[in-house]
């Protein structure tokens, strides 16, 4: 894999890592813009993934700390899926993706970065977003700044 100079990541590398749950802490801080928190629902919230696979990569999570889908109440689960639906609509309006990957990684071996707080990943996809860069150069290009993506989606989610 080739190394790409990404100086903005040094802030994360040097920062003190939270001891608790990242999702719980970001939702509780009340610094929505700084944390890229897009939408606060009654039982769930949506925020941009700070290290996205593609521009507009959103995570939808319950406020309540729950480690798996079966730990959610039916009301939390329904609210979660309704917010996923709302985010899909906003992404379509803002960026016209040609498809989506929806995923829930349960447990470290399944790829969960936050393994003890369930969340749904919404990754918009475009024809050609897997091009020569990741295939040949093993490099992913994110084509838009996070602040710009946040503004486009925040306007549509309210």
Q: Distance (Å, rounded) from C-alpha 36 to C-alpha 22? A: 13
Q: Smallest Cα–Cα separation from 103: which of 75, 129, 84, 86?
A: 84
Q: Which among 57, 65, 117, 119 is annotated as catalytic?
A: 119
- The HSE-up count of residue 85 (CA atoms within 13 Å, CB side) is 6
Terminal CA-CA length for the chain: 40
Active site annotation includes 119: yes
- The backbone region for 128, taken as left when phi is positive above 0, alpha when psi lies in -120 to 50, beta otherwise, is left
Place of tokens 């802490």: 25
Q: Would you name the residues annotated as active-site residues? A: 119
């Amino acid at each position: 894999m080739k190394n790409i100079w990404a100086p903005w990541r040094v802030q994360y590398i040097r920062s003190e890592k939270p001891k608790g749950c990242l999702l719980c802490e970001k939702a509780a801080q009340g610094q929505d813009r700084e944390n890229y928190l897009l939408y606060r629902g009654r039982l769930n919230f949506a925020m941009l993934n700070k290290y996205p696979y593609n521009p507009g990569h959103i995570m939808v999570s319950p406020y309540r700390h729950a480690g798996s889908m079966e730990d959610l109440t039916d009301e939390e689960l329904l609210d979660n899926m309704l917010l996923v639906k709302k985010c899909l609509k906003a992404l379509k309006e803002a960026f016209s993706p040609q498809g989506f990957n929806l995923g829930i990684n349960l447990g470290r071996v399944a790829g969960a970065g936050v393994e003890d707080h369930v969340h749904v990943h919404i990754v918009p996809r475009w024809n050609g977003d897997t091009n020569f860069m990741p295939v040949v150069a093993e490099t992913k290009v994110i084509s838009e700044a996070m602040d710009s993506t946040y503004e486009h989606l925040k306007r549509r989610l309210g």
